[in-house]
Chain A
Amino acid sequence: MADHLPPELVRLLDAGDDHARERAWTEFLAAYHRLVLHACRSRTHDYDGAMDAYAYVLERLREGNCRRLRAYAVDRRSAFTTWLVVVAKRLCIDLARQRFGRTEKGAADLGDRDLSRQRLVELTAEEIDLGTIPDPSEQTPETQFDAASLHEALHHAISRLDPQDRLLLALRFEDGLTAERIASILRLPTPFHVYRRLTRILGLLRERLDRQDNPVV
């Protein structure tokens, strides 16, 4: 069901001349500047950077005769406020990528991300066949081969999971998000549902890896 268009947006998109457009833009900002500012300020400690991002977002919203806002008017599958925060936040991240190559958060999470990915391999390998997994501290060509083939097999097994399970693994093991955050993104009732689901997915992966090691003849 399409959401209704806020009146300030209707007036802005319908404005016939420069004067009307200017007035409608002021009116639109009066209604939504706090939301845009919030999106620019959220999760940053850099006040000046946030104010620069705010100016950048307003400029982008206005460019091309408000083409982004017009895209919402055609789409309307979400609340306008959700859509506006999505656009503002993506533009802020874009600006940060242009300036710094990557976002503050992305750089800070990189270490965790690698650790988390390693943790996924360990968690899945834990119960597969402990006897056949060599001690990783002994770097022999054989251990390197085993680690590489385990990664490859795991990658293949993950690619066969359903999309929501793959997303859950990525949020947990690549991005290192908390179970609470994942629950709210995936609309699961509690963090325990995330843990339960993770246990089920890891069990499934182990089972598949195990079957691959010992195929039924």
Chain B
Amino acid sequence: MNSDSSSPHLSNGDLAAFLDGRLDAPARSAVEAHLADCARCREEMVETQMALSELGPSRRVPLARPNTFRRATWIAGVAAAILVIAMVPRLRQSSLAGRGDEARVRGGSASSSIIVVSPHADAADAGHLVFTWRSLEPDATYRLVVTDSVGAPVFRTTTRDTAVVLPAAIPVARGRSYFWYVDALRRGGHSVSTGVQSFSVPR
């Protein structure tokens, strides 16, 4: 058996060649013997085989998620969307107050909100999404959350910077809308937020 390392378990190459039916009889027998005795490798093999069989021989990933997953996130999505919808009127109100340069005071609380610089709500560039906001105070830590239109998180990160480039690996679809917000905890323990912002990616 070919081994990727000194591990006593099957190498990734062994397992992949076994699943593709590419091993000759002696190698296949050796892999089957290991799988018969090793519950750990067997679990990994079975889980991988299931993931592969959802794709079919083309290995093309369907655009929609598998049903089991969609159903599970459906409820979470609705819950998140309810939260987003509940926050949108507040966002509209604060947006109507104008994109001033001064920190705005929200909801009667003493904490100011975080001012958004980019992306623009209706002109986001899918290939180059940069979230930028005004600094709150030196050394503040910010948490950025991007969700899809039903509120399911697509990307989360924590940073001390005031700009985050959405990694290329995070899929954003053309013609879709997304929500995002940045929040930070001030030294006094008050949390401050941009409020829920939205952007859509042009087709």
Contacts and interface: CB of A to CB of B under 8 A. Distances in A.
B42 A41 contact: no
Nearest to A76: B13
B2 A75 contact: yes
B13 A93 contact: no
B171 A184 contact: no
Contact of A175 (B23, B42, B69): B42
B73 interface: yes
A85 B94 CA distance: 46
A186 B55 CA distance: 18
A51 B156 contact: yes
A43 B55 contact: no
B32 A26 contact: no
Nearest to A186: B32
Interface string A63-81: 0000010011001011101
Contact of A86 (B16, B53, B54, B59): B16
A79 B59 contact: yes
A38 B21 CA distance: 22
Task: Give the size range of B's interface with the partner.
Answer: 35 or more
B153 A83 contact: no
What DSSP secondary structure best describes chain B's contact surface? helix
Given A34-B61, A51-B153, A42 B32 contact: no
A164 B27 CA distance: 12
A58 B16 CA distance: 19
Which of B21, B32, B73 is most buried by chain A, counting CB atoms within 10 A of its CB? Answer: B32
Contacts of B184: none
A78 B72 contact: no
A42 B50 contact: yes
A88 to B, nearest CB: 8
Contacts, number: 155
B45 interface: yes
B126 to A, nearest CB: 12
Label chain A's interface by main secondary structure.
helix
A89 B55 CA distance: 14
A95 to B, nearest CB: 12
Contacts of A72: 12-13
Given A75-B13, A77-B23, A167-B33, 16 more contacts: A33-B171, A35-B59, A41-B69, A42-B54, A71-B11, A75-B17, A77-B16, A77-B17, A79-B16, A90-B15, A93-B43, A105-B43, A166-B36, A171-B46, A175-B39, A175-B46
28 contacts: A34-B61, A35-B55, A37-B171, A43-B51, A51-B156, A68-B4, A68-B12, A71-B4, A75-B2, A77-B2, A77-B13, A78-B17, A79-B16, A79-B20, A82-B52, A85-B51, A85-B59, A86-B44, A89-B44, A90-B48, A93-B43, A93-B47, A105-B47, A163-B29, A164-B29, A170-B39, A177-B46, A184-B49
